Structure 1
Amino acid sequence: MSEEVDAASRRPATIGDVARLAGVATSTVSRALSMPGRVSEATRQRVVAAAAELSYVPSSHARSLVSGATRTVALLVPDIANPFYFGLIRGAQRQLRAAGYAQLLVDTEESGEIEAETIDLMRKSADGVILAASRLDERQLAALAQRQPIVTVNRDVPGVPSVILDTPDGARQALLHLRSLGHRRIAYVAGPADSWSNARRWQALQEAAPGLGVELQHSGPWMPHAEAGATAADAVVGTATACIVFNDVIAFGMLRRLRERGVRVPDDLSIVGCDDVFGADFCDPPLTTIAAPIEEAGRVAVTMLLDTIAGTGSGRTRAVLPTYLRARRSSGPATDAQPAPVSQSAPSGSGS
């Protein structure tokens, strides 16, 4: 055994040990092990043989110092407790793991300011960022994408790769479903005022309502939490016979409040949610909702981001995934008997 190997056997081998044994620079060792195409075949074989003789295992930290790559991707979501993001997180993590990457999960608390601060912090600790339902404006997102690879989910900004769930089409399907059940007074229970997808759904409903003979109402904005659903329910009782709700979580809160008040769903008020999250088919009654391929969105976002990082993308910068209505028992035929309006002023709601 050589003197170098004998000395190295008393401690874990380092990249310097491999370089000395192979008779090359440490940077050459790094290239030979991580980017073999950048060294000659003879050099690569000499380095590999030296690494094997020393039982050298390169650390991820050492690789990142040389290449600048961390093999880590940050996924930023507005609310980690919202079950909508469970599928997105799972889909992204599985795709990243298959590619040899780790996922760093960050809850931005529905705050654009926290998003911007986090992305800035991630410039050295993550190779790229996936932003779900970003609260940043287009100018900020475009500027950030110039400094670091970014893919957005449910946000469309020119020049920034994006994955879009076509919930506006799902909202139109929900409106048609309710109209087929005889509903003419239908309320849209809106999400946060700065939500891009919320604005698109409301626009789609406004465009579709006149042709269907629907009197469309707007309630909100509301925070996308179950607690907001209680006050949202109070605001729409007596004003509409059916509701299309920004997300399932608000709808869950509405169902609970309506049950407390003795308002029957769907006999007195039909409810349609959005996202088909875990629990939508377990609530009472099971929730009619707009189903979306959320886990697939996570996988597609990762693929687009890794293509951007590697510079091997096919040029695809926008993916639109379809949605569909899943009818359950929270929606039913309109009836003439409607509950009396609440004897209180309707709250204005709150947005993030």
Structure 2
Amino acid sequence: MVDSGEVMGRLPTIRDIAARAGVAVSTVSRALSNPARVSTRTREKIERIAAELEYVPSTQARSLSSGRTGTVALLVPDVTNPFYFDIVRGTQAQLKAGGYTQLLVDTEEATDVELQTLQRLRRSTDGIILAASRLTDQQLTGVAHQHPLVTINRPSADAPTVLLDTAEVMVQAIDHLASLGHTSVAYAAGPVSSWSNHRRWHAIEQAALKRNMVPHRLGPYAPKRSSGAAAADAALGAKVTAVIAFNDLLAIGMLQRLAERGVGVPRDISLVGCDDIFGADFCNPPLTTISCPIEQAGRVAVSMLMAQLNPLAGSTLRKMAKIPGHLVIRSSTGDARQEA
């Protein structure tokens, strides 16, 4: 038995993968082209065997003659933000199974860097996945018309998108805080150029008003732990009893600043983050936050891009994939402070 490379003097095929995995050829095909249609255990087994055999899809084996590069770029605003780690893992695994190489680019939370990078990548990649793009609608339209594109958390009328529905879970967070007796809540906002930031504030504002809570918007702040001190000071100045932060990094920075000032969490103020990054449950206190299956978003984005690169006759491209999230309640939220 040959574990990698050629199988009996030829390139491995999906039939070889199916034989090794003990599944039908059609199951292998679905796992590599539409992973949501097979179980996680089966998909992971097939991906592992495909990697061992160094399987290359026929479309990629012909890439040289077709002008394909076999490379897909993933652009993220901040490669050091743990939120993007799972997106990178999801896209990497799915692209590898499809015979593609991933190129990871950090756009530094800068619109001009993102746009310049996209222009340079047009000739060196087969497609692009944009995570949390900071581009305008007009800029995204221009990119989508020039190159195969899928966005994550940044809808565009001209490109398929994967949406982690954190805004909907913001309503759950407001319900949770209301149940604890909070009557005022602040949102520590993220970057002005972030589409998710505006959507989350709108959800918080509307949900708070419906529940007779007074909403405050603070910031904007860079989505980094170092911005937490300023956000915490602003929250104390606003005299609110609860804060929802744009992301966990900002919330963790706020926890540190509040501790420095002798403010108890949740005794004096409750705090909610967003993303459920690694370490959110290690904080003191552990952080209540919004969680979504981030790695799945990366996999789905690749599947949507592959549908553009290798379209099936008569098939319709999927334009939107919405992935729901949920509120994870930990010790950073508690009963509202009672004024003397």
Q: Cα distance, 1:315 vs. partner?
A: 2.2
- TM normalised by structure 1 equals 0.77
Displacement of 1:66 after TM fit?
2.3
**Residues 79-228 of structure 1 mapped to structure 2, 5 A cutoff:** 79-228=78-227
The residue matched to 2:273 in structure 1 has which SS? Answer: strand
Cα 1:274–1:229 change in 2 (3 A) is same
Q: Distance in 2 between matches of 1:224 and 1:240?
A: 21
Return closer, same or farther for 1:290/1:62 CA change in 2, 3 Å cut-off.
Answer: closer
Identical-residue share of aligned pairs (%): 54
User: What is the CA distance between 1:63 and its match in structure 2?
Assistant: 5.7
Shift of 1:314: 3.6
1:321 corresponds to? 323
For residues 293 and 68 of structure 1, do their structure 2 counterparts lie closer, same or farther at Cα, with a shift above 3 Å needed?
same
Counterpart code for 1:101: Y
- Contact persistence 2:270–2:332 (CA under 8 A): yes
**Pairs within 5 Å for 1:6-45:** none
Cα separation, 1, equivalents of 2:62 and 2:123: 14
- Residue-by-residue CA offset, 1:98-132 (whole Å, 9 max, x unaligned): 11111100000001111111111111211000001
Structure-1 separation of matches of 2:61 and 2:168 = 48
Once the two structures are TM-superposed, the CA of residue 204 in structure 1 deviates from its matched residue by 1.0
Aligned amino acid, residue 334 of structure 2 = G
Who is 2:309 aligned against? Answer: 309
SS at structure 2 position matched to 1:124: coil
Q: Which residue of 1 aligns with 2:263?
A: 263
Where does residue 9 of structure 1 map in the other structure?
none
**Residue 332 (str. 1) matches residue 331 (str. 2):** no
**Counterpart-to-counterpart distance in 2, 1:94 and 1:154:** 20
Q: Distance in 2 between matches of 1:337 and 1:102?
A: 58
- Look at both structures and tell me which one has the larger radius of gyration over its CA atoms: 1
Question: For residues 316 and 300 of structure 2, what CA distance do their matches in structure 1 show?
Answer: 13
Q: Name 1:283's counterpart in structure 2.
A: 283
Equivalent-residue separation in structure 2 for 1:292 and 1:325 (angstroms): 9
Give the secondary structure class of the aligned counterpart of 1:263.
coil
Cα distance in 2 for residues equivalent to 1:220 and 1:111: 18
CA shift for structure 1 position 135: 0.6
Could you list the structure 1 runs, at least 4 aligned residues long, displaced by more than 3 angstroms after superposition: 60-65
2:29 alignment counterpart: none
- How many residues get paired? 279
Cα deviation per residue 1:67-116 (whole Å; 9 max; x = unaligned)? Answer: 11111110000000000000100011011111111110000000111111
Q: Which residue of 1 aligns with 2:15?
A: none
Q: Which residue of 2 aligns with 1:234?
A: 233
Aligned-pair distance for 1:210?
A: 1.8
Alpha-carbon distance between aligned partners in 1 of 2:144 and 2:273, rounded to the nearest angstrom: 33
- The gaps in structure 2 that reach 5 residues or longer are 1-58
Instruction: State how far apart, in whole Å, the 1-side matches of 2:60 and 2:179 are.
Output: 60
Aligned match of 1:52: none
Once the two structures are TM-superposed, the CA of residue 258 in structure 1 deviates from its matched residue by 0.7
1:251 & 1:211 partners in 2: Cα distance? Answer: 25
User: Counterparts of 1:92 and 1:314 in 2: how far apart (Å)?
Assistant: 22
Alignment partner, residue 56 of structure 1: none
Cα offset, 1:311, TM superposition:
2.2
Distance 1:86 1:304 in 2: 20
